[in-house]
Amino acid sequence: MIQQSPYDIVLMDMQMSVMDGVTATIEIRKLPQYDHIPIVAMTANAMQADKGSCLAAGMVDFVSKPIDPDELWRALLAWVKPQHASAAISAKSSVVNDANASIPTNIAGLNTKLGLKRGLGKSSLYLSMLRKFVTGQKDFAANIETALNAQNWETAELLAHTLKSVAANIGASELQEEADKIETACREKQARSSVDDLLAILTPLLNVIINGLEAQSPTVETTQATQVDEELLKTVSQQLVRLLGEGDSEAAELLEENSALLKTAYSKHYRAIESGVRDFDFEPALEALEQAMNTSA
């Protein structure tokens, strides 16, 4: 996804499906009218070689995923000039905690301060991320074992990648690192015994976090039957399309506020929409939303 701000800067998602970020940057740099525009990479690959490729293609900076709000602001402030001197200060200071209650405490392997920061300082959003982590990852061990037994390496890799992403978003750094190792092992189709050894390390870490969250949040989100208001659905969907297209983090709040409506109306596509929004990977979320809207039209 290429996101252009009103301050003439491009945020380049390196995992675009049609053309990768490096190739897209090379093509943009061929256009003289865009010579002056800074291009900042948003990438999950923070290795020095990847950074070198970004810079060689014509990018000026990079921000690693999962997106750290402070790191994103650092990059933006380094390459754009706000229209008003107070603009950057007021925008940055708006990322604050909206509530203090109900944040879980003392769960080994879970840094809630880091997770809350990655949830833009919004307790309601972070709590939702935690609930979805429980429901989405509780059966991880069983699901990946099924995939491995069937020698379905692609599914196993995807399961590990998803766990890595959501663990990073909630502040479970050690779990994120172990999931990354399993993702790599599945991609390389390493010996099953090697993957099992890695799972033996990861599974207890995951169980501690899951059990801790369930103990402190006994009321996990449940799906409720919701009557679809077609006019409201149309309005919410159009707003979500706009926010996703602009790469606006407010999409997460809009999705959260209308999750029951969207889940009921777009049951076949909702998980893909939610996953993309939760991981700040807005391009696939937008594609899934548009597919859902076209299907239900």
* Residue 107 within any structural domain of the chain: no
Residues 238, 210 share a domain:
no
**Of 291, 285, 224, 209, residue with least CA distance to 251:** 285
Residues 117, 84 share a domain:
no
Residues 247, 196 share a domain:
no
pLDDT higher for 32 or 280? 32
* pLDDT value of position 57: 87
Of 216, 247, 265, which marks where a domain is finished? 216
* Residue 221 within any structural domain of the chain: no
Q: Looking at residues 254-263, what average pLDDT do you find?
A: 85
- pTM beyond 0.85: the answer is no
The total number of structural domains in the chain stands at 3
* Residue 68 within any structural domain of the chain: yes
* Residue 250 within any structural domain of the chain: yes
pLDDT higher for 190 or 41? 190
Q: How confident is the model at residue 254 (pLDDT cuts 50, 70, 90)?
A: confident
Domain at 142, CATH number: 1.20.120
Q: Is pLDDT above 70 for 90? A: no
Which CA distances in Å does 31 have to 27, 77, 79, 130? 7, 25, 20, 44
* Distance of alpha carbon 81 from alpha carbon 38, whole angstroms: 12
Q: % helix / strand / coil in the chain, to the nearest 5?
A: 60, 5, 30
Residues 185, 212 share a domain:
yes
Task: State which residues form the domain around 282.
Answer: 230-296
* Residue 262 within any structural domain of the chain: yes
Of 216, 246, 276, which marks where a domain is finished? 216
Percentage of the chain beyond pLDDT 90 is 36
Residues 188, 123 share a domain:
yes
* Residue 121 within any structural domain of the chain: yes
Residues 123, 86 share a domain:
no
Residues 290, 252 share a domain:
yes
β-bridge mates for residue 64, sequence order: 43
Q: Looking at residues 263-275, what average pLDDT do you find?
A: 89
Residues 185, 147 share a domain:
yes
Residues 210, 184 share a domain:
yes
Number of H helices, E strands in the chain: 15, 4
Residues 187, 245 share a domain:
no
* Residue 81 within any structural domain of the chain: yes
Residue that the structure tokens 């799906």 belong to: 223
Q: Is pLDDT above 50 for 99? A: no
- Give the pLDDT confidence of 175-231 residue by residue, as tens digits: 999 999 999 999 999 999 999 999 999 999 999 999 999 998 744 444 444 578 888
Residues 252, 158 share a domain:
no
Q: Looking at residues 145-149, what average pLDDT do you find?
A: 95
Laid out side by side, the sheet with 61-64 consists of 2-4, 10-13, 39-43, 61-64
Q: How confident is the model at residue 76 (pLDDT cuts 50, 70, 90)?
A: confident
Q: How confident is the model at residue 131 (pLDDT cuts 50, 70, 90)?
A: confident
Residues 6, 87 share a domain:
yes
* pLDDT value of position 252: 82
Q: How confident is the model at residue 105 (pLDDT cuts 50, 70, 90)?
A: confident
* pLDDT value of position 122: 80
* Residue 243 within any structural domain of the chain: yes
Q: Looking at residues 124-135, what average pLDDT do you find?
A: 85
* pLDDT value of position 64: 74
